[in-house]
Each structure stands twice: as C-alpha cells, then as structure tokens.
Chain A
Amino acid sequence: MTVSATIVLRGRGVVGGRAAGEALVTRDAIPGWGGVNPQQGVITETHHELRGKSFKDKVLVFRGAKGSSGWSAMYHTARLAGAAPRALVFNEMTTKVALGAVVMHVPSVTALDRDPLDLIETGDWVVVDGDAGIVEIHKHRSQPSCPPSAGPQGQDDVRTQSDDQVDALPG
C-alpha cells in the first residue's frame, strides 16, 4: 500500500461524530425540496452540475445550501431512506444547511482554514471529525492499490460508527 498524501483542514464542528467516505464535490449550492430525490439520494435540479449524481454514503463537499425551506426535511427523509451522505463539509453557513445537518445526524464541519473546494476533488477519501472540527483529505491518486470504496484499513471502524447512526432510527 502506498503512503497517502494527507491534507488536514481545521474549522468549526457543526454536528459531532466521525465519519469517512469518498468525496463528492460541487461549487454549486445544493438544492433542497424540488431539486433532489431524497429516497434515492440524487440531485435532480435542471441546471445543477451534479444533476443525476448520488450523494448517498458520500462525503458531500459544497459551497452552501439554497432554495426551498424544505431543505432539512428532504435530507432528513434521505436519512430515513438510507440515502444520506456520510458527512458534510461546506463553506457558507445558512439556517437551511445547519438544520439539515442536525437532522441528518451526520458529522459536519464548516469555516475551514483553507477552502475545501480548492483542495478536495470528487473521489478523494475524506475523514470528517465533527467534534474536533477537522477534515482529513487522502488524495485518491496516491492510493491506486486501495480503491476508496473498500477504504484503507483502520477506517472501517469509522464507517461503522456512521452506519450505526443510520441504524439508530427512531421507531
């Protein structure tokens, strides 16, 4: 296994917990109601650069949230459907993304010391620590022998923690 190039960003934890996954990155703001299919975890907005892409089990890296006040309910529904992202990394704080992150129960970090949109590419392996406010980026090109879907060793327990959160649904 090659040693991965790791970049560490420090910011403010929004929702606690630790999770890791493959990054899905967009500079477009993420839409809520009317621009997303929450049961499938897919962006559907007509002009969106992620149109047709799934955020399920991804670490969603984005600028901010936009659109309808149904934002939180959409991503809350995605959590119930098992289609939520594993973690959020974002730049611009709004009520939509704050409430959405809270009801998704996923580790979330914002206000990072360097712009995550410049440093994280779709496909990178990203570890998000919402308690410490730390984001660790493992560039995927440095790990050819270790596809992100399988995950490097030592991160399985991290993912289990995130899965537990999904399983711990009410009712």
Chain B
Amino acid sequence: MLRLTDDEKSMLDGRAGEARQKAMDLLVRYAEALGAERFVDTRNVAGVPGSANPFLQQYYAGKGADGLDAIFSFFDLDSDELVEIPDALVPTYHLQGGADPRQWQTLGVRVDVFRNYQEREAFAARHDVNILKTCTPYLAGNLPARGEHCAWMESSAVIFANSVLGARTNTEGRESTSAAMLTGKIPDWGLHRPECRFGTHRIDVDVEVESVMDWGMLGYFAGEAVQEHIPVVIGRFGAPEIVRLKHFGAAASSSGGVEMYHIVGTTPEAESVEMAFGRNRPAERFVYGKAERRQVYDRLNANASDPNVDFVMLGCPHAAIDQLREAATLLEGTRVSANCHLWIFTSRAVDSEARRLGYVKTIADAGGVVITDTCSAFAQAIPPGTKVAALDSAKQAHYLPAILGVQAWFGSTHDCIAAAVTGRWRGERP
C-alpha cells in the first residue's frame, strides 16, 4: 500500500501546479504497479527530458498550443492534456540523444530532423536541464556519492552508479525520470533499498581478465548467466580501472538486465564475499574459464564472416579521455584505409578536453572522426554502404547487427584500429 507524504499529496492534489500534478500522478501509477510503499527524495536525475526522435517529432507535430509542449506533456508525463512545464525542481542531466552539432551531416541526419533536435535541446536547457549528451554522465560532470538516491536512465550508467560508485538507482525510464525532474521523487523500490543490493549469484573467474576486451567479454558472460540478478564476481584481478568497469557493466546490462554487480575486493559494497552476499545464499554458481571466454567471443562474432571491414566504431559507452589518447597514439602517422571509416563517440565534455590535448586533430589527420551526443546504434547511423563493422564494445556488438543488419566483428581496441588502417579484420580468437 503506497503511502504519500504531505508534499507528495500536495503535488498530487495540484497545489504545486498542473505539470507537477501530472508528474506525481504518473509516479503514483508507476509506484503502485511496482508494489512500492513510498517514494524516496532524489536530487540527481539523468534522463532524456523532452527529447524526440523523428517518429515522435512527426507524431506530435502541431499538437502543442499556446506555447505548451506536446512532447513533454503527452509523452514524458503520459498526460492526457497539455500542461505548462516548469523548470527542473532538482538537478537534472540530459543523457545521449540527438546529433553532434558539429558532425550531424557525417551521421547522415536530415536538416529538418537536426533543427528539431536543436529545438528539443533548447527546450531542455530552458528548463535547467544540464546538456551532457552522453551515456557516461559519471565521466562528464555528474558523479553521485555513495548512498545517494538517483533516478537514472541508461543501463550502462545505472550499473556503473550502483556497482562502482555505490549510488542507488533502479533502471528508470524516459517517463519516470522526466516526472522525477519535476518532483524530486522516485519509488522506494529495488536498488534504493539496502536489502535488495546483495549479490544473488556467484561467478568464479579462473582466467586472466586484463584488457577492456577481456572485461567486456566477462560482462557479457555475467549478463547471460544471471539475467537481471546481481552477480558476485570472484577472481584475482589487477587494480580497478574505470574504463574496464565501464565496459564490463555495459556488456552485463546488454546481454542480461544486470543493474548491479559486486567484484570482491574492487567494488565498494563487496570488501569480502560475505559482505557482497549479505543474507543471501548464492542461487547458482558459474565458472568463467578459457572455454567460457571462447564461447562468449564466438557469440559476439557469430554473424561476422567477411574480413573486409568498411566501418570501425569505438566509444561505446562514450570514450573516456584515456581511450581517445590511446586511439590517437595508435593512429599517429598512419592513415585510415580508403575503403574504411573510423568513428569514435564520446561526450561533449571529453571531446572538448581531447581537442585541447590535440587528440581530436591527430585522429582527424589520420582520417578518423570524433563524434559526440550519440552512437551508431542509438542514432541508427553508419557510413552509407557499410556491410561489415568492427567494434571493441560487447554492448555495441550486441545491438548493432540487430538494429542495422550489418556484420560485426568484436575484438580489442588495437584489433579495431588495425582493421581501420588495413581494411581487414585480423582479430585473434582468445
């Protein structure tokens, strides 16, 4: 039975304005669907408020009136009437979406669609939404503290916030984050509650896990093994490293629905095996060894057969500054093959730093392009005529063939850059 506080009742009664009434009504319907008993207060919202892909742009064209916003009213708030949208009540951050304001033509975005993206971005900015435009808010200025209640979308960011940072968020959606932006409320359910954060399944790793590629494969294995549960990963690992954990989590949240994991000795709620499991007994135990690693590699490369690579895409999740440095170093003095394109996706914040450091120029001099705001899978954008892609992200390898029908090779960043330069895939099966 859902219980509301006085300020929640007041919003639901409409005393805080129509939009907050609609937002609270949606959150109440959502909390009741979950079976939640109360809300938590949040001051950290990451979503895509008011954004619109071409379908939504067209669907809602002309449906606003008197300066009121149809997309935010009808879609974000699931309201049956147009309402005036107030500014964000709590700090709110825009995740990836739309198109790079510099490289939108490279992405093949039509001019009318791009203008509309700009209008939607301006709408969000007018309502005090920070325009991070990235799937990695934690690398671009939104770093929640341990224990902080958040309302985040983006599965790879949610799993990072819960597992690596110890912040608390479920995988929220478009509508719940937009409603949280106006109310500072989100259902107290699931990962907001300490008793729901303990591990449920055990994964023993008895193979070396070192590179970004290794961590991506282990993450993909973990997601397939535990689906939407909470794996406790036990093995002998080197020092924790942000980029590797970013790729591990992105993969686990794509092959399964993992929203939180523990790596014993690495992540903050897993100083020991006992601490990671709490009162839970592992429901199942999995072993990740050489055979399992090979199976994951084969699965990620299952639809690729043509070694002639015409597109290399890096930056899923968005590249950290260190990854752009690595790409620039590998590309220095070389040239991307005339038969191949190289796109590297990152956030505006990291792009701006990479420009200052000269990485963007080094990559451009070699024939590659650094692109912000989106990625190939999200924007459904690949160079015209692409048949065979090469990727260093298990998450992107999971999505891109399904979305765009291309072949996709998965391998190391080094394999991918080599493929961009030679136009041939020579990645080695581990």
Q: Is A14 engaged at the interface, CB distance under 8 Å to the other chain? A: yes
Contacting pair B402 A70 (CB below 8 A)? no
Confirm or deny: B26 has a beta carbon within 8 angstroms of a beta carbon on chain A: yes
A162 interfacial contact with B, CB 8 Å: no
Bound Cα distance from A143 to B391, whole angstroms: 51
B190 contact from A34, A95, A100, Cβ within 8 A: A95
Q: Is the pair A72, B175 in contact by a Cβ cutoff of 8 Å?
A: yes
Interface centre among A12, A81, A93, by most chain B C-beta atoms within 10 angstroms, is A93
Q: CB distance B227 to A29 under 8 Å? A: yes
Q: Is the interface of B mostly helix, strand, loop or mixed?
A: helix
Docked pose: A34 CA to B135 CA in angstroms: 15
Residues facing A in B55-76 (CB within 8 A) are 55-56, 59-60, 63, 70, 73-75
B399/A34 in contact, CB under 8 A: yes
Interface set, chain B 194-228, CB cutoff 8 A to A: 227-228
Shortest C-beta distance, A142 to chain B (Å), equals 33
Which A residues lie within 8 Å of B176 (CB)? 72, 95, 99
* Residues of chain A contacted by B172 (CB below 8 angstroms): 69, 95, 99
State A28–B416 Cα separation when bound (angstroms).
32
Measured between beta carbons, the chain A residues less than 8 angstroms from B171 are 69, 71, 94-96
**Chain B residues near A170 (CB-CB < 8 A):** 63, 70, 73-74, 79-81
Structural contact, B174 and A73, CB atoms closer than 8 A: yes
**What 0/1 pattern do residues 63 to 95 of A give for CB contact below 8 A with B?**
011111111110011001100000000001111
| In the complex, A46 has a CB within 8 A of chain B | yes
| Distance from A33 Cβ to chain B, minimum over Cβ atoms (Å) | 8
- For the complex, give the distance between the alpha carbons of A39 and B372 in Å: 27
Residue of B nearest to A171 (CB): B63
Q: In the bound complex, do residue B70 and residue A95 qualify as a contact, i.e. CB atoms below 8 Å apart?
A: no
Bound state CA distance, A66 and B252, in angstroms?
Answer: 11
B303 at the interface (CB under 8 A from A): yes
Contact residue among A76, A98, A168 (Cβ-Cβ distance under 8 Å from B33): A98
A35 to B29, CA, bound (A): 26
**B158 CB–A CB distance under 8 Å:** yes
In the assembled complex, which residues on chain B have CB atoms less than 8 Å from the CB atom of A95?
Answer: 34, 170-173, 176, 187, 189-190
Asked if A15 is at the interface of the complex by the 8 Å CB criterion, the answer is yes
Task: Report which of A72, A101, A108 forms a contact with B174, defined as CB distance below 8 A.
Answer: A72
CB atoms of B175 and A65 under 8 A apart = no
Give the chain B neighbours of A45 by CB distance below 8 A.
402
Q: How large is the interface on B (under 10, 10 to 19, 20 to 34, 35 or more residues)?
A: 35 or more
Complex contact A102–B79 (CB within 8 A): no
Which residue of A67, A76, A94, A103 contacts B254 across the interface (Cβ within 8 Å)? A67
Contact indicator B78/A67 (Cβ below 8 Å)? no
Q: A69-B155, A102-B29 are contacts. A34–B174 as well, Cβ < 8 Å?
A: no
B contact residues around A96 at 8 Å (CB) = 171, 173, 257
Do residues A94 and B257 form an inter-chain contact, with CB atoms below 8 A?
A: yes
Given the interface pairs A66-B228, A170-B73, the reply to whether A46 lies near B303 with Cβ below 8 Å is yes
Contact, CB under 8 Å: A71 / B74 = no
**Please, which residue of chain A has its CB at the minimum distance from the CB of B78?**
A103
Task: Specify which of B227, B254, B402 lies most central, judged by the most chain A CB atoms within 10 Å of its CB.
Answer: B402
Closest residue of A by beta carbon distance from B256? A66
Q: How far is the CB of A40 from chain B (nearest CB, A)?
A: 12
Which residue of A has the minimal Cβ distance to B302?
Answer: A46
What residues on B are CB-neighbors of A65 within 8 Å? Answer: 257
Minimum CB–CB distance from A122 to chain B (whole Å) comes to 22
- B402–A67 CB distance below 8 A: no
Within 8 A of B (CB), among A109-130: none
Contact of A102 among B78, B228, B253 (CB under 8 A): B78
Residues of B within 8 A of A (CB): 26, 29-30, 33-35, 55-56, 59-60, 63, 70, 73-75, 78-81, 152-155, 158, 170-176, 187, 189-190, 227-228, 253-254, 256-257, 302-303, 377, 398-399, 401-403
A residues adjacent to B (C-beta < 8 A) = 12, 14-15, 29, 34-35, 39, 44-46, 64-73, 76-77, 80-81, 92-96, 98-103, 108, 168, 170-171
Kindly list 18 other residue pairs between chains A and B, CB separation below 8 angstroms, not including A34-B402, A66-B256, A95-B170. A15-B33, A34-B403, A45-B402, A64-B227, A67-B257, A69-B152, A69-B155, A69-B172, A71-B171, A72-B174, A92-B228, A93-B35, A96-B171, A99-B176, A101-B33, A170-B63, A170-B70, A170-B81
* 9 nearest A-B pairs in the assembled complex, by CB-CB distance: A72-B173, A66-B257, A170-B74, A171-B63, A69-B153, A98-B33, A73-B174, A95-B170, A34-B399
